[in-house]
C-alpha cells in the first residue's frame, strides 16, 4: 500500500529497487534562508510576529522569512530579509538570488524558477553581530 504524501513533501527520486527520496518544503526553506544569510550585506531573515515570538522563546526557526512552493520539479522562493545599512540593495539582492538558486539546485536537484525578495528593514547598527 502506497503512503500518501503530504502537500508540503515532494519526491526527489523514486527508483524501483532503490527506494524513494523525499524532501519537505521546510527543508528547502532552511537551505534558502541559510544561503541568503551568508551573503555580505544581509543582516538577518525577517519573519512574521509568530516567528519573532518563537525565536525569543528560545525556539530558533531556520526557515524564518522564507516561503517555498514546489511543483513538478520546480521551486519558487519568496524571501523577506533585513539589510545592513550601507550596502547596495539591488546588487546585494542579485547576490542573494544567485546564492539561494545555487544552494537549492546543488543540494536537491530541483530547478529554481523564481526568487522574490522583499526588503523588510534596514539594520542601522554599525558594529558587526557575533
CB 45 within 8 A of CB 8: no
CB 51 within 8 A of CB 64: yes
Structural domain of 106 = 24-123
Residue 79 lies in a domain: yes
Residue 94 lies in a domain: yes
Give the H or E element holding residue 20: strand 19-24
Residue 112 lies in a domain: yes
Residue 106 lies in a domain: yes
Is 80 exceeded by the pLDDT of residue 76? yes
Residue 17 lies in a domain: no
Which pLDDT band, with edges at 50, 70 and 90, does 4 fall under?
A: very low
Residues forming beta bridges with residue 21, ordered by sequence position: 13
Is 90 exceeded by the pLDDT of residue 35? yes
The total of structural domains in the chain comes to 1
pTM (two decimals): 0.80
Is 70 exceeded by the pLDDT of residue 129? no
Residue, of 86 and 62, whose pLDDT is higher = 86
What's residue 36's pLDDT?
95
Residue 69, class by beta-carbon neighbours within 10 Å (0-12 exposed, 13-18 middle, 19+ buried)? Answer: middle
Q: What is the pLDDT of residues 104-122, one digit of tens each?
A: 999 999 999 999 999 999 9
Is 90 exceeded by the pLDDT of residue 19? no
Residue 19 lies in a domain: no
Residue 9 lies in a domain: no
CATH number at 43 reads: 3.30.70.1350
Neighbours of 108 (CB within 10 A): 19
Q: Does residue 76 sit in helix, strand or coil?
A: strand
Average pLDDT of the residues in 33-39: 94
Neighbours of 115 (CB within 10 A): 20
Amino acid at each position: 500500500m502506497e503512503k500518501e504524501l503530504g502537500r508540503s513533501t515532494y519526491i526527489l527520486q523514486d527508483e524501483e529497487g532503490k527506494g524513494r527520496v523525499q524532501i519537505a518544503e521546510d527543508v528547502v526553506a532552511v537551505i534558502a534562508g541559510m544561503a541568503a544569510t551568508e551573503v555580505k550585506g544581509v543582516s538577518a531573515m525577517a519573519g512574521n510576529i509568530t516567528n519573532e515570538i518563537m525565536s525569543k522563546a528560545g525556539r530558533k526557526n531556520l526557515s524564518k522569512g522564507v516561503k517555498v512552493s514546489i511543483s513538478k520539479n520546480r521551486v519558487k522562493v519568496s524571501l523577506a530579509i533585513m539589510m545592513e545599512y550601507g550596502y547596495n540593495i539591488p546588487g546585494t539582492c542579485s547576490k542573494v538570488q544567485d546564492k539561494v538558486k545555487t544552494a537549492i539546485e546543488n543540494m536537491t536537484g530541483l530547478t529554481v524558477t523564481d526568487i522574490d525578495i522583499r526588503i523588510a528593514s534596514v539594520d542601522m547598527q554599525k558594529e558587526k553581530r557575533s
